[in-house]
Structure 1
Amino acid sequence: HGLASFSLSPRQSPSPQRKRRSWRRSSLKGTKRRQSLPPIHQDITELSKSISLELPEPDRLSALLLSSFQFSAQKLQQILQGDGSLRPEAFQAQVQLVSEGLKQHLQTLEQNGTIKLCIEEPGGQQPSPALRKSVAQVNDYIARFSAECQAWDQLLLRYQRNSEDAARQLEQSRGGTGWAEPVPHLQTSQAQVLRSKPNYRQILEEQGEVLGSMELLLDELQRAVKLLEAFGEESQQGLQRLSRWLASRTFRPLENSPVRRLLAAPARKGPALG
């Protein structure tokens, strides 16, 4: 099978039924059939519609590439304006400069026939087995990434709903008696266990003064312990200094005693025998 050529004409676009089947194939296994998520920007599809059908295919492709760049620059400008880190004049000048460079590059590709090769049929030349294998592998990657993207979108939506439910229940518990309604997916026995527990938040609020006094008392005890540790270290150092002073005072008179000189005298050599 030959590779399908790239064409911008409406008659070459796949039918809606074919699109739906491709989305179903890329959906997750084991899940119910559902409508695919809408595109991020609804006006993306208007890019090709704004290009005249009377233009040759290479000119339409060049115009589509240029319009895609301008559309991306417009979206980027809207995002940067939101956080206030954009200078519109400098950004427009940069976009204009890149647009001119892109136009020149597209003209070069059109003149050397590169764009024409992207649109025309390969002329009966069959692709090599290695190329067909690479194309099949790329298509498989695209299908897998699409399925994974849809799975992440579903997971994000589910966590957003759970977060909104939890925030609503928290607001209800703060505005009422302090009790939060059991989570809907809990079983009846679990809900009964939750209802049987005391209101710990109310208990903490009632005992707030006692807990504050206990905190102050613990701080005072901690300071007292630090003072005792410092006093113990100073006492130990004082005892060590006193011990060294008593030792030096006690043994200093014995330095010149006859017994110390006798012990310190060198031993005499005996007479040589024979």
Structure 2
Amino acid sequence: MTNQREHEGKVALVLGGSRGIGAAIVERLAADGAKVAFTYASSADQAAALAARVASSGGEAAAFRADSADVADVESAFDLTLERFGRLDIVVVNAGILRLGTIDQISIEDFDRIVAVNIRGVFAALRKAATVLGKGGRILTIGSNIVDRVGFPGAGLYAMTKAAVATLVKGAAIDLASRGITVNNIQPGPIATDMTKEHVDFILPNVPLGRMGQPQEIAGLTSYLARDEAAFATGASLTMDGGYSV
């Protein structure tokens, strides 16, 4: 983590922040000086432990339960953040789910659920963020490099949802540019999280750098894009995947 405090005085909301990449983003933004609210869907113990870690390091974090498939929950997370901290400067939309299955095997129920979380939930967050962020606000979505290279059977539906987010980010960036709000998308590749631990042996041969990425590396890029010095970047999808999609 950096010793600098680029986000001193700012408030961030990380949707889907209790574990993995989301937790790393929470800790990095807090280390960089922001007060951070974050949501969790079911991992209440992990959320409490994360808030405690931030506090023990001298930061401030608040955890709110929210199902990103529920628009009311998403909007409530924004309202609770404003009630707790009085302002909002940075929004990171990390919540997402993975459903794998070939086109003839994936169920309609799985289709509906992944679209609800990975597309509708992201849209709901961007729509709400647009109503509360002021000039200089930052919106960041966490997508996937699978947009550029599906890579294996059964990943098409997940890739579709992440491609939709990348396109939505472009449109939102144009819509909000006149207000000085930037919107960008980070596309991680194979990152060492609970979601990927069962697939490491399959993934590693396809990564030119020969290792899994770390959540802290995605968190570092997230923090950079939220800084003032990144104010000219908007509508971009930035891939960090160890060369997997090259």
Please, what TM-score do these two structures have when normalized by structure 2? 0.20
Q: Could you say which structure has the higher helix fraction?
A: 1
The structure with more radius of gyration: 1
Please, what TM-score do these two structures have when normalized by structure 1? 0.18
